[in-house]
């Protein structure tokens, strides 16, 4: 409801009505994540999970980039 597709408030529509709203939604939902890893095992809490959101209506190819440091 905060960022509807096709709203006249968001005029950047180079790739469709959902283009600019998708940019704003990605900022609101975060674009990066830091995860603890110990002895090659992901250390998430009992109620933690990893979710990937697509903010566009049309299908797009995406890549997930993983950087490991330490």
Q: What is the pLDDT, as a whole number, of residue 13? A: 61
Q: What is the pLDDT, as a whole number, of residue 30? A: 77
Domain limits for position 65: 1-70
Q: What is the pLDDT, as a whole number, of residue 27? A: 84
Number of domains in the chain: 1
CA distance 24 to 3: 7
pTM of the model as a whole: 0.58
Q: What is the pLDDT, as a whole number, of residue 46? A: 92
Please give the distance of CA 45 from its chain centroid, rounded to a whole number: 21
The residues, ordered by sequence, that sit 6+ positions from 22 with a Cβ below 8 Å of its Cβ are 55, 56
Please give the distance of CA 53 from its chain centroid, rounded to a whole number: 5
Mean pLDDT in runs of 10 for the chain (70 residues)? 79 74 82 86 91 79 83
Among candidates 66, 60, 49, 69, which has minimal Cα distance to 26?
60
Q: What is the pLDDT, as a whole number, of residue 29? A: 83
Q: What is the pLDDT, as a whole number, of residue 43? A: 92
């Amino acid at each position: 409801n905060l960022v509807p597709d096709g709203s006249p408030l968001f005029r950047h529509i180079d790739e469709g009505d959902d283009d600019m709203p998708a940019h704003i939604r990605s900022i609101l939902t975060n674009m990066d994540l830091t995860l603890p890893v110990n002895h090659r095992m992901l250390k998430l809490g009992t109620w933690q999970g990893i979710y990937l959101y697509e903010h566009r209506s049309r299908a797009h190819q995406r890549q997930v980039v993983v950087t490991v440091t330490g």
